[in-house]
Chains A and B, each alone.
Chain A
């Protein structure tokens, strides 16, 4: 047993990186973990690699389940921004998970790289409350403009919320 331990190299192997970000595999899918400051640079590098389309931007609130599968060196934060890119030639798919700290959560917008993220980032802002710096029109998209709170957050309760719509004046 001690022989096996001695045969092991002293330093762990260099963690795999792609476009400057740490790589993990989740159920066989390639996932990148850039940090918030290198996020845009990583996405720009991926776009140059042929990932021509950003198909989805979404987010998860890990408030109630902080334990999750992250590579060493990535600090878990409350919010996680998830971006899905596809390349057409050859066909492939990649996912980015970016940790966004609370208080209040802000991330850079991908709008200048992929104009198609406009509505998706608005949706994330509306439902999860992550603000996107550089987004041209960061307004609510699914909820009414005067809605309070961001429904997909874990501290936003399901059911028994007071109805926020004003009563319509009745003629009777």
Chain B
């Protein structure tokens, strides 16, 4: 079953070899993979220990390779290496209320202790990167916004930023601030939904009701601004689709007035509640070195104590003009990941307060007829405007050839867009670096040695969106 076994295993680097990469650099050309068949039919599932290659076993057990001494999992913590007939491989998902969609986990259990975990994904894969190659840049926003459906503005924004970088255009100041406003409100809505589902997964069912109630306030505002509650296609290359509606300031001020009290209710419900703390503290621990090695980003990484937030570290939009704190945890457990998120909601509110003060007057999109459609009123009077409108929506706009990678901080971590243009009106290649996809690799590490009852809490604390994972 294992691929490495098929290849003879001789080229597989040893996990703890002191010069692991040196032989690999030269020896890989001689490996069996060079002449191997085009299509692999290797199993994606978890197989029994006897059939599993030792290196794969390490990955499934959550042993992160090539870590400095002492930070790797200490095997004596849980002296559990039983033989195959004492353990049981069970399937969690893809149809399971705690798996946040269609995540399927295969767990090897010894009694109630999790020995190995393997996420099996792809159940929601709809080939959106391939679809993007067939959509014009003006249409691309409708595609990417459906990936991470809990933070649609972030997906639209990263795509728009990548297109604008390739075009080499600067968008008006007001458009940038409107984007930031929507991004931060979206971060709040995503995080309160996390608290809802996290509570539900841990048995605090009332939290679900509260979380969805809070999110509803934000979605109502999104609907007023964009016309839609989700999948807005509001942030587009060149600016945003429409200016903020009349009365938006009062609406946002109302949100800022209501939310602190609601968050205090969450504190009462979770943060200071002994049952919640007992259930989440020390569960699903991920160390700093492990999180970095496994490419984890966002709250998962920050909960381990790494102050890495793209808004502060590599600022985009106007994040260098607002002040906010990067929230970090200490222990990297389920509780820290929760605490990072609830405090990030507060920081987002801080940013929004500053945005309200700094929001300039001006245009909400670039007035370049090649990129943005002319105002509706102009179409009736100007032949040129009509032509531009028609050309833009039938042929789209051409983007100079080149490639670019843009990343922003989504509620789940680094959301990147790699865009290659061949000079036509459609992307030659569009790749989304999905934070949930990368973060999922931390799951085997967090799960190892824990109880199967905690597995649900750990999955939830990762806050994966399967639309983002599978794309």
Contacts and interface: CB of A to CB of B under 8 A. Distances in A.
A69 interface: yes
B323 interface: no
B134 interface: yes
A119 B437 contact: yes
A52 interface: yes
Nearest to B429: A60
B367 interface: no
A15 interface: no
Nearest to B289: A52
B127 interface: yes
Contacts of B418: 56, 58, 82, 84
Interface string A58-87: 101100110111000000000000101000
A29 B394 CA distance: 32
Contacts, number: 207
Classify chain A: how many residues form its interface, as a range.
Answer: 35 or more
Contacts of B11: 133-134
Contact of A113 (B4, B21, B40, B56): B21
Nearest to B63: A115
B2 A137 contact: yes
B43 interface: yes
A29 B404 contact: yes
A119 B130 CA distance: 19
B369 interface: no
A55 B416 contact: yes
A33 interface: no
B130 A151 contact: yes
B412 to A, nearest CB: 13
Contact of A138 (B33, B308, B403): B33
Contacts of A58: 418, 431, 433
B65 A115 contact: yes
A27 B2 contact: no
A155 to B, nearest CB: 12
A84 B165 CA distance: 17
A21 B260 CA distance: 52
Looking at A109, A120, A133, A158, the one whose CB has the most chain B CB atoms below 10 A away is A133
B293 A116 contact: yes
Interface stretch (B74-82, B98-106, B294-302, B385-393): B294-302
11 contacts: A40-B25, A56-B418, A68-B403, A88-B292, A113-B21, A120-B438, A139-B40, A142-B125, A152-B129, A152-B130, A158-B131
Interface of A: 26-27, 29, 37-38, 40-41, 44, 52-56, 58, 60-61, 64-65, 67-69, 82, 84, 88, 91-93, 95, 97, 104, 106, 108-109, 111-120, 123, 125, 127, 129, 131-134, 136-149, 151-152, 156, 158
